Amino acid sequence: MAVISVEDLNVAYGNHQVITDLSFTVNEGDFMVVIGENGVGKTTLVRALLGLLKPRSGEIDIPANTKIGYVPQFRNIDEEYPLSIRDFVSLNSGKGIIPWLNKRERARVDRMIRMTDLTAIADRPLGLASGGEKQRAYLAQALLQSPQLLILDESTASLDNEMKYELLDLVTRFQQDNLSVMFITHDWDLARHFGTRFLQMKPNGYNEGPINELPEHEEEE
């Protein structure tokens, strides 16, 4: 079953066409790698999928009950950021009118913190956490509402190699519940290691298919 399908998508900033006639589908359980060099429109695509940007034409079809979790590339969390990891994760506890979290919501936050291996540091300020710990906290917040699709926008870019693999291993653990993943990256090794499908974006078009059909990266040859 498709969690997102895109048909003939065109996105432009003013006169500058960024995405031209793009079509692809992400199915349940897919680990779709969106790969390409800087400036080919990967982040623009994400913004369009999240509804933060209006496409010029084309269709983005997301079934009504599909929730999307998103881990952005940048976040304004500096050393002085005051919230604890637990409080940061629990921000995504829904829009209810009751200000405090009920027992079920608290249990869900605890469970997510446990599943992202953050229990030992849950009460420490997020601002003082390491790069890897921060990414795990962002992941926990994005997954709190049990989304069907998780979009990771270059989320591993600031991590060292070992941490990158650890974070994505963690993500794949959540795929046991049929979570679909869209992972935006320009790291070809990670793409091949974790992806099941790929969408390669280029300045003048795109390729897509199962991961074993991902062409050799020019720099790799």
Chain residues binding other proteins by CB under 8 A are 50-52, 68, 70, 72, 74-76, 82-84, 86-88, 91-97, 99-100, 123-125, 138, 141-142, 145
In a 10 Å sphere around its CB, with 0-12 CB exposed, 13-18 middle and 19+ buried, how is residue 58 labelled? Answer: middle
DSSP string, 41-88: SHHHHHHHHTTSS--SEEEEE--TT--EEEE-S-----TT---BHHHH
Minimum gap (Å) between residue 214 Cβ and other proteins = 28
Minimum gap (Å) between residue 202 Cβ and other proteins = 27
Minimum gap (Å) between residue 215 Cβ and other proteins = 32
Minimum gap (Å) between residue 106 Cβ and other proteins = 12
Tell me the residue length of the chain. 221
Angle at CA of residue 19, ends 202 and 194, nearest 5°? 55
Please say which residue, 75 or 114, places its beta carbon nearer to other proteins.
75
Please say which residue, 19 or 142, places its beta carbon nearer to other proteins.
142
Please say which residue, 14 or 82, places its beta carbon nearer to other proteins.
82
Please say which residue, 100 or 218, places its beta carbon nearer to other proteins.
100
Cα(53)–Cα(163) distance, integer angstroms: 31
Give me the residue label for tokens 């921060």.
134
